[in-house]
Amino acid sequence: MTAAVEAPTAATVRERRRKTRRRNLRRHWQLYVLLVLPVAYFVIFQYIPMANNVIAFKDYNVVQGIWGSPWAGFDHFERFFANPVAWDLIRNTLMLSLYGFLAGFPIPIILALALNEVRARFFKRTVQMVTYAPHFISTVIVVSMLILIFSPRIGFMSDALGFFGMDSNLLADPDAFRSVYVWSDIWQTAGYSAIIYMAALAGIDVSLYEAARLDGASRLQKIWHVDLPGIAPTVVVVMILSVGSVMAIGFEKAFLLQNPLNLSQSEIIATYTYKIGLLNADFSLATAVGLFNSVINLVLLLAVNTVSKRVTGNGLW
């Protein structure tokens, strides 16, 4: 008869894991050294400054400093939500972000799928260059181009719109602000955003395409049954990250496109925080608004990741 094998105790398992970690550390110490600078950067410049969010709960003044200022509790949050413009700011931020997500999220995927089907290398590289290039143009330059294009005096688009009886000054039209913002952003970022999907497409097993061709699948059928399932994990991760930053719209572009005529829809949380915090020097209220914005993003990120894990099995962690 064979002797029964004793199950390892919890202490034995912990000791084995400890030895494995030490062995991996000695074997791959170069990789851990490479991690030192990135980790130090995030700790010093990302995590440690989070402690300063405490001024959202204080009546901060420069003389007493962050930790010497008196506590105010949730007074600044109450001030913000009691302000009549608070819900307009939240609505404008959500509407602009959701518009950008719904309009801009599928376009890089479609562009990547289309480029993956192109066989003419010169045409493919030309399209890639034309679509990638706007990403490297600064936001200030893009806004300057928009102002020149839609200017009522010298903008050719204003003349074209006026010829068809439409509003010739789109930058002064509050209802047109979101479309100008979103579609110019798509023009600037779609090509660069398609890179990650093209990389995912390049990793799909070639034998799947061969099997689809032998089964008589058309190009659209190969895209639907091979390409899309192959990039689905990447799409899910990008979608989660996009939803997680739904309230974090870029400040620069919205602020530069603002003017007194379109302020009813162009004023978002980021621009309001800038004006309250830096122009009015109300640092506690500005921090409270920014902290509220960040908490909403975190909740959305966790919620979407949880739903994605249950529905598709893919998530950030």
Query: 78-312 architecture in CATH?
Result: Orthogonal Bundle (1.10)
Give average pLDDT by consecutive 10-residue segment, the chain, 317 residues.
Answer: 60 81 85 91 92 92 88 93 92 92 93 91 91 92 89 69 68 88 94 92 90 89 92 90 82 91 91 91 92 89 85 76
Q: Where are the domains of the chain?
A: 2-57, 78-312
Given this model, what pLDDT does residue 191 score?
92
Given this model, what pLDDT does residue 140 score?
93
Given this model, what pLDDT does residue 276 score?
93
Q: Give me the helix-helix angle, 121-132 and 174-202, nearest 10°.
A: 140
State the SS3 of 148-205. HHCCCCCCHHHHHHHHCCCCCCHHHCHHHHHHHHHHHHHHHHHHHHHHHHHHHHHCCC
Nearest Cα to Cα of residue 132 among 184, 190, 181: 190
| pTM (2 d.p.) | 0.83
